[in-house]
Amino acid sequence: MTEIKHIKIGEDKFRITEEEVARRELKVTKISDDVIQVQEEIHGIIALVGAVSSVNIKKKELKELIKVAREEFGWTDIC
């Protein structure tokens, strides 16, 4: 069985309230030869409800995502 490798390409923290700070991590995972998954994990929020998910990617994180796709996943046709 193929090992699933999650590669962290970004992280930061942001204040929710005076007392609570959330931590965010952005990870990329190779699903198959032509599919990758970008996952945003947010830790520290008491309740997060919703049916829609989106990922905000910073310029630096996008550069890292392209680097990982080329170097780790062999997607050499991405520039």
Alpha helix (H) residue ranges in the chain: 59-71
Domain that holds residue 57: 6-71
- Residue 48 included in any domain: yes
Name the domain count of the chain.
Answer: 1
pTM: 0.69
- Residue 79 included in any domain: no
Given this model, what pLDDT does residue 71 score? 92
Number of C-beta neighbours around residue 70 at 10 A: 14
Backbone angles phi, psi at 16, to 5 degrees: -95, -50
Q: Sign of the C-alpha dihedral, residues 54, 75, 6, 20?
A: negative
Please write the tens of the pLDDT for every residue from 14-64: 888 888 888 888 899 888 888 888 888 888 765 555 445 667 788 899 999
- Residue 47 included in any domain: yes
